Structure 1
Amino acid sequence: MSPAASPALVRTAPAEERAAHRDPNVLRWLGAYTSSMVGDSVYYIALSWAAVQEGTPAQAGLVMTASAVPRALLMLGGGVIADRFGPRRVVIGSDAVRCAAVLAVAALLFLASPGLWPLALLAVAFGTVDAVFVPAVGALPARVTHPGQLARVQGMRGLAIRFASVVGAPLGGFGVAAGGAAAAFGLAGLLIAASLPLLLSVRTRELTADDGATASGGTARADLMAGLRYIRRHRVLAPLMLAITLGDLGFVGPLNVGLTLLADERGWGASGMGWVLAGFGVGAGAVSLLLTVRGRLPHAGQVAGWSILAGSLAIGALAHAPTVAVAVGTALLVGLLAGLSGAMCGALLQTQADPAYLGRVTAVSSLASLGLSPLSMPLSAAAIGTWGTGPVFLVSAAVCGLGGVVALCVPALRRAELPR
């Protein structure tokens, strides 16, 4: 069924001109997204705790990574589903399945001690549903607001992510302390469930007839290949995908496993590492707040390119910070620049892509971030063990910087602007 035929898609011409942070429709979407993300954070705390309690550390590690494989393998297909059935419908269905799965495991753990197998099944199910959920979530903002408000929406989405990361972990810990893994899973399920009535009340903009006609042309494979051809031939999206992939590959390793090893090498300890991560979070949150208030930024392509390039220099400098205080300041700068480049790239994806292909476009960009970039973490750890933090951080910074070079050297991307 074409998204244009969905009864949930309505014309909202007067509301389109309203600033996103004052639009009740956007705020309902934001509330649903925030509740779902907080639920995700609590879920991962519950899953890690339950896995450690039920098995060995190695088994717990396998359970925690079990969702990554189906998510990576099925992500592109999830983009096709989002485009065929409409992102709102897919997000609602995905959240309902995620909620039911988490609450079922909570009930099972409350009634018995079944071991690791239900946790492994839950992780695989979550990853499978995520493969559909992530592209649909990425495609939905363009349907709930005017194109000129998408930079502001990206800032609001960034604030929601920061809020979820800050609030989700303590809530998960509280759930575990109050009633064990079963209570934490139950809390996660209720938070995800809270997003459903809000999503049901969200109105989405109507696609044109031409957009709807191109949304589902034949078999799923044909739709997928059409989406990949569309990206490859697009003057802005093709180099933007390359810039995003290079930026993520150079960023994920140092700011995850690399930072842990750097803190250990310098004797900063867990508290020092926590302060550095807090610096990054404050920087990224500040940019999200700025975009939420400011809205559109001019010269989006140039801003994305220069911020990726400057962020890569900050990543390289982080490995040479002599004290925790300097490292915190450097991480703050990394967060500012990464948040700015991420928001600009996300807004450009939303506005440059034809709405009929937006689910597939989001799937490809998400695959780069969630499928390929995590591969850099074990590689970074192994390389640091051989050559130390300094050289590895510099190589990672160079890879990240290449993303900025691509953005600045391709004229169509460099000149890309966000709608007014």
Structure 2
Amino acid sequence: MSEVTVALDKRVQKVPKTPSVFKEYRFVLLFLTLLVSSFSVSFFSLATNWYVVNFLGLEAMLGIVMFASSVPRLVFMLIGGVIADRVSKAWVMFISDFTKGVLLVGIIALLMFDLLAIWPLIVLAFIFGLLDAFFWPASSAILPETVKEEQLTRANSVLNMTRQASMIVGPLLAGIMLAIGGYVLIFGITAATLLIAGIIDLMMKRNMPKEERDSKQSKLGLNGGGMFASIKEGFLYVKNSSFLLALMLSAVFLNLLFSGPFMLGLPIFATHVLEGTEVTYSFLSGGIAGGMVLGSILVGVLNIKKKRGVFSIAGILALAIFCLAFSLSSSFYLNMAFVILIGAASSVANIPLLAVIQHHTEKEYLGRVMSFISFSAMGLMPISFLFTTLLLALSISIDVIMLVSASALIMVSTMIIWKGKGLRMVD
């Protein structure tokens, strides 16, 4: 064997190999609880929507149910971030999952006595949205405590893939359960899954490091500053970080230009441009979710550790280009390819940034930072929906709206690449 070969063998042996995230017991627990929680969300959404439309015959009230769940999720998201920084994150997750499970047991009782009307569902949707506002910042902020730093990108890709897979498989399973056993069965299984998630949350709390298990009141105590003072402190932390500030502005523009035209407009595009049916829409919607799964797999395999900001900006630009191509096409098969690429680009843009935030943010601020990013992403979605609706009311076709929005998104992405030095230089 030559000296060069021996030297290469030694170098290969010295290259550290990143261990599988599933060898981390705490991550396995987090994965299981998010898997169960994600499927329960899919089950609950399908069952509730179908009950309102099909059983109660109140199609017009479905928007009220969705509004009731989305508003508290948005309004209380920042408070949820503060709570996640002050108390055990696993404990916050337990309270959210367990409370949902108990509430669904009450819904089952109303169903069995034929007393379930629209208003209990609206109240339930409001409470679910409120609990989600505390659950998601906590579940995002707890990840760095379950894996090593070099595993963060891969861990985020696994969890993102899990959520997207639940969006594809969950409604299918829910439809089967609904057909077999009706509403009592599907609400019963959803309640059981949430209670199981609560048990896993408790197991995760017991296996957290001592500083996470113990109450943080002595360090960040509830008497150490008011809720709004803590939110302000978190905002100043984001403001003083060029990377986080650029990221938050990117999230604002991305959701303003993408959410309304492409999420609200997708069924309209399927009907008026592609001249399809609800099956066409379901394929396009499933294509985006499938693309997100593929993107998650790609990011997980690559396990990017350097230049993650640049990688994410490239993902945003690619997403904008694919959206532009989608708006210009009237071929179902081409548009299926484009929506898959849009979903993949979305994962490529989002997952590395989550890992960067978790890696570079001080732990005592992580819950608030994650809530600010989520708030930035969600805050302009209602405005985007409203603006798209107004343009449609002015008889502007959805393909034109998508074309203009995608073009604006390309310009914003280019501006981020040019001006967003903090985001570009991170890692």
Q: Could you tell me the TM-score, scaled by structure 1's length?
A: 0.89
In 1, are the aligned partners of 2:292 and 2:346 still within 8 Å (CA)? yes
Tell me which residue corresponds to 1:317.
325
Residue 151 of structure 1: how far off its partner (Å): 0.7
Partners of 1:188 and 1:97 in 2: CA distance: 12
Higher mean C-alpha displacement, 356-365 vs 196-205: 196-205
Q: Structure 1 residue 119 and structure 2 residue 121: aligned?
A: yes
> What is the DSSP-based 3-state SS (H/G/I as helix, E as strand, rest coil) of the residue aligned with 1:322?
coil
Residue 168 of structure 1: how far off its partner (Å): 1.3
Residue 177 of structure 1: how far off its partner (Å): 2.1
Higher mean C-alpha displacement, 290-299 vs 314-323: 290-299
In 2, are the aligned partners of 1:246 and 1:399 still within 8 Å (CA)? no
Decide which structure has the larger Cα Rg and report it: 2
Write the deviation string for residues 354-410 of structure 1: whole angstroms up to 9, x where unpaired.
111111111111122334224312322332452212331123224433156325522
Partners of 2:352 and 2:404 in 1: CA distance: 24
Partners of 1:205 and 1:107 in 2: CA distance: 40
Q: Structure 1 residue 204 and structure 2 residue 208: aligned?
A: yes
Tell me which residue corresponds to 1:71.
73
Tell me which residue corresponds to 1:32.
33
Partners of 1:207 and 1:295 in 2: CA distance: 28
Tell me which residue corresponds to 2:365.
357
Residue 206 of structure 1: how far off its partner (Å): 5.8
In 2, are the aligned partners of 1:305 and 1:405 still within 8 Å (CA)? no
The size of the alignment, in residue pairs, is: 401
Partners of 1:195 and 1:367 in 2: CA distance: 25
In 1, are the aligned partners of 2:43 and 2:171 still within 8 Å (CA)? yes
Tell me which residue corresponds to 2:146.
144
> What is the DSSP-based 3-state SS (H/G/I as helix, E as strand, rest coil) of the residue aligned with 2:380?
helix
Identity rate, percent: 25
Partners of 1:314 and 1:399 in 2: CA distance: 13
Partners of 2:300 and 2:218 in 1: CA distance: 30
Partners of 1:281 and 1:310 in 2: CA distance: 17
> What is the DSSP-based 3-state SS (H/G/I as helix, E as strand, rest coil) of the residue aligned with 1:319?
helix
Superposition pairs for residues 218-229 of structure 1, below 5 Å?
218-229=225-236
Tell me which residue corresponds to 1:46.
47
Q: What code does the residue aligned with 1:360 have?
A: R
Superposition pairs for residues 198-347 of structure 1, below 5 Å?
198-202=200-204, 203-205=207-209, 213=219, 217-266=224-273, 267-347=275-355
Partners of 1:60 and 1:390 in 2: CA distance: 26
> What is the DSSP-based 3-state SS (H/G/I as helix, E as strand, rest coil) of the residue aligned with 2:304?
coil
Runs (5+) with no aligned partner, structure 2: 1-17
Partners of 1:354 and 1:177 in 2: CA distance: 48
In 1, are the aligned partners of 2:168 and 2:286 still within 8 Å (CA)? no
- Choose from 160, 163, 170 the match for 2:162: 160
Partners of 1:265 and 1:58 in 2: CA distance: 22
Tell me which residue corresponds to 1:178.
180
Partners of 1:206 and 1:237 in 2: CA distance: 29
Q: What code does the residue aligned with 1:416 have?
A: V
Write the deviation string for residues 176-218 of structure 1: whole angstroms up to 9, x where unpaired.
2233323221111111122123222223346699998457631
- Choose from 398, 402, 417 the match for 1:393: 402
Higher mean C-alpha displacement, 114-123 vs 39-48: 114-123
Q: What code does the residue aligned with 1:238 have?
A: L
Partners of 1:58 and 1:240 in 2: CA distance: 37
In 1, are the aligned partners of 2:95 and 2:198 still within 8 Å (CA)? no
Tell me which residue corresponds to 1:14.
none
Higher mean C-alpha displacement, 296-305 vs 53-62: 53-62
Distance 1:76 1:403, change over 3 A: farther
Partners of 2:231 and 2:28 in 1: CA distance: 32
In 1, are the aligned partners of 2:86 and 2:220 still within 8 Å (CA)? no
Partners of 1:218 and 1:237 in 2: CA distance: 24
Q: Could you tell me the TM-score, scaled by structure 2's length?
A: 0.87
Residue 255 of structure 1: how far off its partner (Å): 2.9
> What is the DSSP-based 3-state SS (H/G/I as helix, E as strand, rest coil) of the residue aligned with 1:387?
coil
Partners of 2:20 and 2:116 in 1: CA distance: 50
Distance 1:215 1:358, change over 3 A: farther
Partners of 2:382 and 2:161 in 1: CA distance: 23
In 1, are the aligned partners of 2:292 and 2:343 still within 8 Å (CA)? yes
Distance 1:100 1:357, change over 3 A: same
Q: What code does the residue aligned with 2:278 have?
A: A
Q: What code does the residue aligned with 2:134 have?
A: V
Partners of 2:118 and 2:210 in 1: CA distance: 45
In 2, are the aligned partners of 1:317 and 1:330 still within 8 Å (CA)? yes
Q: Give the alignment's Cα RMSD to 1 decimal.
A: 2.3
Distance 1:393 1:211, change over 3 A: farther
Partners of 1:150 and 1:245 in 2: CA distance: 24
Tell me which residue corresponds to 1:413.
423
Superposition pairs for residues 70-89 of structure 1, below 5 Å?
70-89=72-91
Q: What code does the residue aligned with 1:82 have?
A: A
Partners of 1:270 and 1:50 in 2: CA distance: 19
- Choose from 115, 130, 137 the match for 1:128: 130
Distance 1:114 1:323, change over 3 A: closer
Partners of 2:255 and 2:210 in 1: CA distance: 33
Distance 1:123 1:211, change over 3 A: closer
Partners of 2:399 and 2:44 in 1: CA distance: 35
Partners of 1:54 and 1:274 in 2: CA distance: 24
Tell me which residue corresponds to 1:4.
none
> What is the DSSP-based 3-state SS (H/G/I as helix, E as strand, rest coil) of the residue aligned with 1:43?
helix
In 1, are the aligned partners of 2:324 and 2:402 still within 8 Å (CA)? yes
Residue 96 of structure 1: how far off its partner (Å): 1.0
Partners of 1:111 and 1:326 in 2: CA distance: 50
- Choose from 378, 387, 392 the match for 1:370: 378
